[in-house]
Chains A and B, each alone.
Chain A
């Protein structure tokens, strides 16, 4: 059915095909994209503080506990070496080593060479006083000092007192 049928001539005039160019499709106005900062200052501060705290805390914890572990090893080695010297003196009437000699396991060669005796890694024991034949001499007792290369603590054993003290 023709769509102009029944319409007045002046109406027919208005039914012309629109010749204007097509309306461009609707597009939303381009939204300005907000650039967020990589990390806000507060977040960056929190991350930095936590990282520093973790690293510093971890380092301090490791340093303290490792230092204690080194000291325990040094103390234990000195006690064992003192027991060994006492046993040797009881069996042979003399101790091993002389004043100034050192047995060590810290990478430097020992001056007291005991082939079947090994200290813990990093420990050095110095004979600092006394004569090996008379270790219990009260005026000049046989004395040994032990130190770990990664610790500042020095332990000393004296035959006169038969105890280990911390220097």
Chain B
């Protein structure tokens, strides 16, 4: 696992070097490698497939325009996730202002569709997943992002910290707070424990 991760990072470094010389194919490959993770993060934060895709495209575009300033203190993946996270937060702030102004309700049903799930599978998983989604969506964005990055993306605490722009200790606390809050919120929702 470690070897695979290191290989991935070294391939990224190679692609990054090529992209810096103007090789657009190399950058396209970087997009293909990391867009999915960025989209998952944005979709969970923004609860909208369209907005998430827009944010991911903007994040990669910004990354491309700032390639020369990327100092490689973190991996390319972490850097792109960091940009995505910040753009998603901006989007959330704008949306909050807009929704407050027009009194709009939060949309139900977030993110990308799940093509693999059949009707029976959906029915059995729906209740738990729906309750988890509701509990998750009530979390503050940073906690939500920290938990998602740690659990779903499998990042280390150091990487989570790099994405959120905070310290490793704070990232650990965010994940911990998210788990504790999630449990409290989850248990309060109809249906009790999972």
Q: Do A and B come from one complex?
A: no
Residue ranges of B at the interface with A (Cβ–Cβ < 8 Å): none
